[in-house]
């Protein structure tokens, strides 16, 4: 097992970095799945909840990018090398005892609602719901009316008269809208850990477009691929353990059809030939009548 030794008489900062790197290497050796993710805009409480809920099978490890590059350069860690091209600015390394697809599902299904910032793109229509607020009249009332949002004073507080769409899907959020939504305590944006890449114990690299495919879809694709491959192999008369039975059945059917066509008499053809003779006899009888 690879380790990084802390030299004597090192500065406290150097010693701390060395310990972080040692822990990083320890986790690399311990967990079969390694994943790089971006935690930009993920609230601290959401981060802590994810740590707690997914422990101990999944571990989150925040480390500076330069230390990751240093570990990769000093140690023979081929799995780590494959991830370096996919390292985000706000890096969290996720170690997991589960396979990459299951880890991806567990991580990405956890979302947190946050306030929008100026310049954000609305992921869907953003609606200010009707009803009372906890805001007393003031400059915000002027902003609401300037944006044609129907309001009234109710119990000394501002109330929204009816649902109002403040931004439509795809629109860029302005400073005015961002400030208004924050004052109204509306958090329309869902954020979470953005997975950039993962490697498994064999060193196979997984990118988000693969990890995001549902397990059921993978099974369906494999089933369809197997069925197609089997049909092609049978058509080409490729003999293997999968095709031998259908090829034999096809050959038997072909031989039986040929035997019936030429009137070959055997224990296999007699029942069919008798039925055929009966049908011909009935037809002749009808014509004679």
CA distance 80 to 118: 36
Question: How many other CB atoms are found less than 10 A from the CB of residue 108?
Answer: 16
Q: Give the pair of three-digit tokens for residue 190.
A: 């869902």
Residue 25 forms part of a structural domain: yes
Same-domain status, 139 and 223: no
pLDDT at 1: 46
pLDDT at 256: 83
Same-domain status, 41 and 81: yes
Same-domain status, 65 and 33: yes
Q: What is the DSSP letter of 121?
A: B
Same-domain status, 147 and 70: no
Q: Which domain holds residue 225?
A: 218-288
Which stretches of the chain are assigned E, i.e. beta strand? 33-38, 58-62, 91-96, 112-114, 126-128, 131-132, 151-154, 157-160, 164-167, 189-191, 194-199, 205-206
Same-domain status, 178 and 199: no
The neighbouring-strand residues paired with 152 are 159
pLDDT at 125: 95
- Residue 38 in contact with residue 89, Cβ under 8 Å? yes
* Torsion angle (degrees, nearest 10) of CA 209, 211, 212, 213: 100
Report mean pLDDT in 10-residue bins for the chain, 289 residues. 53 89 93 96 95 95 94 79 94 96 95 95 94 89 89 92 94 94 93 96 93 76 82 85 86 84 82 83 81
The number of folded domains in the chain is 3
Residue 280 forms part of a structural domain: yes
Q: Give the pair of three-digit tokens for residue 204.
A: 């196979």
CA distance 19 to 26: 10
CA nearest neighbour of 92 among 26, 32, 13, 24: 24
CA distance 35 to 205: 10
């Amino acid at each position: 097992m690879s380790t990084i030794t802390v030299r004597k008489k090192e500065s406290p900062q150097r010693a701390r970095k060395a310990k972080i790197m040692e822990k990083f290497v320890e986790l690399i050796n311990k967990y079969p799945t390694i994943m790089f993710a971006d935690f930009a805009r993920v609230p601290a409480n959401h981060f802590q909840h994810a740590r707690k809920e997914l422990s101990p099978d999944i571990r989150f490890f925040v480390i500076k990018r330069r230390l990751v590059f240093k570990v990769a350069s000093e140690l023979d860690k081929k799995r780590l090398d494959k991830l370096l091209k996919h390292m985000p600015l706000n890096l969290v390394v996720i170690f997991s005892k589960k396979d990459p697809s299951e880890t991806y599902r567990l991580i990405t299904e956890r979302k947190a609602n946050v306030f929008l910032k100026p310049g954000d793109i609305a992921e869907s229509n953003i609606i200010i719901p009707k009803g009372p607020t906890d805001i007393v009249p003031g400059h915000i009332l002027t902003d609401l009316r300037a944006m044609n949002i129907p309001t009234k004073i109710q119990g000394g507080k501002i109330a929204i008269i009816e649902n109002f769409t403040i931004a439509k899907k795809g629109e860029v959020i302005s400073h005015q809208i961002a400030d208004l939504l924050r004052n109204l305590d509306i958090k329309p944006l869902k954020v979470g850990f953005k997975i950039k890449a993962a490697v498994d114990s064999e060193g196979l690299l997984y990118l988000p477009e693969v990890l995001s495919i549902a397990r059921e879809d993978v099974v369906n694709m494999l089933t369809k691929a197997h069925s197609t491959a089997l049909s092609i192999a049978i058509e080409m008369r490729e003999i293997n353990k999968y095709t031998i039975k259908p090829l034999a059945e096809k050959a038997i059917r072909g031989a039986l059809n040929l035997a019936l066509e030429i009137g070959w008499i055997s224990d296999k053809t007699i029942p069919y030939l008798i039925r055929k003779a009966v049908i011909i006899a009935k037809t002749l009888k009808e014509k004679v009548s």
